[in-house]
Chain A
Amino acid sequence: MNLYDYIFYLFALLTVVSALVVVTSKNIVHAAFSLMFTLFGISGLYVLLGADFIAVVQIIVYIGGILILLLFGVMLTNKITNVEIKTGTIKTIPMAIITGVFGALLISIMYGTKWSSAPPDNMPSTLQILGNTLLTEYVLIFELLGMLLLVALIGAASIARRGRE
């Protein structure tokens, strides 16, 4: 085991433990904050996989955007009379058993399959090649996603303001 492996296990532990807190905590604000640690741990995993740009985008978009949006949602949809903002649960134990079996199946498949994994080479910065590929080979999808974001922005604003003319 070298340093890479230790860092991997650190980030893996951070990700899995805080994801466990996200789905088991009854307090929504606690869940949202531990989702932040999950997303940060995943970003660390991206760095270990040599995807530097994806890691930065993960931090900017997920932690800086989506998580804040979720927290706004929590704050706007609860009558804040006390600090505790709880969520109800449905059929926790049967669902835990079913998803546990599903997860064990998935892990055994992932572990048992002989993936044809090429030995990892050195990790160059992906920024230049990512930009080139995005604006040549994938330019149509890139533009369509730009349109999609615009439509989603206008749609979200118009849905959220409906009935308040």
Chain B
Amino acid sequence: MLEVGLNHFLIISAILFSLGIYGIVSRKNAIMVLMGVELLLNASNINFVAFARYGNLGIDGQIYALFVIILAAAEAAIALAIVLNIYKTFSNVNIDEIDNLKE
């Protein structure tokens, strides 16, 4: 029970995943929502690496974790560019007030 195994890492990742979903659905600021998305990506990454080590599957899981990190970097850059544009147009970034596609 207290001996660390695969289950422990999966439980940490499950906790992080639900915290990330809570952050996404309950915050108004778009950047806080982005932080929630980062938590989700990290939770899935922990699963990839944990199964790569304990599942006897070779190195593939770590490579997919690397790909997820690269995609997260691209996603953060694009998302922040969009958020800056939204701020220029609406002068705030509260996602519940931004409900039209053009000014």
Q: Which A residues are closer than 8 A to B by beta carbons?
A: 1, 4-5, 8-9, 12, 15-16, 19-20, 22-23, 28, 31-32, 35, 38-39, 42, 45-46, 48-51, 53-54, 57-58, 61-62, 65-66, 69-70, 72-74, 76-77, 87-92, 95-96, 99-100, 102-103, 106-107, 110-111, 115-118, 120, 126, 129-130, 133-134, 138, 141, 145, 148-149, 152-153, 155-157, 159-160, 162-163
Restricting to B13-69, which residues have a CB under 8 Å from any CB of A? 13-23, 25-32, 34-36, 38-39, 42, 45-46, 49-50, 52-56, 59-60, 62-63, 65-67, 69
Most interface-central of A5, A53, A102, A117 (chain B CB within 10 A)? A117
Q: Which B residues are closer than 8 A to A by beta carbons?
A: 2-23, 25-32, 34-36, 38-39, 42, 45-46, 49-50, 52-56, 59-60, 62-63, 65-67, 69-74, 76-78, 80-85, 87-88, 92-94, 96
Closest CB of chain B to A77's CB: distance in Å?
4
Given A23-B23, A130-B59, A155-B81: A87 and B8 interface contact (C-beta under 8 Å): no
Q: A96 contacts which of B5, B26, B54 (Cβ < 8 Å)?
A: B26
Are A5 and B62 in contact, CB atoms less than 8 angstroms apart? no
* 7 residue pairs bridging A and B, Cβ less than 8 Å apart: A19-B39, A51-B49, A51-B53, A99-B18, A145-B71, A148-B70, A152-B74
Given A23-B23, A133-B59, A141-B67: A15 and B31 interface contact (C-beta under 8 Å): no
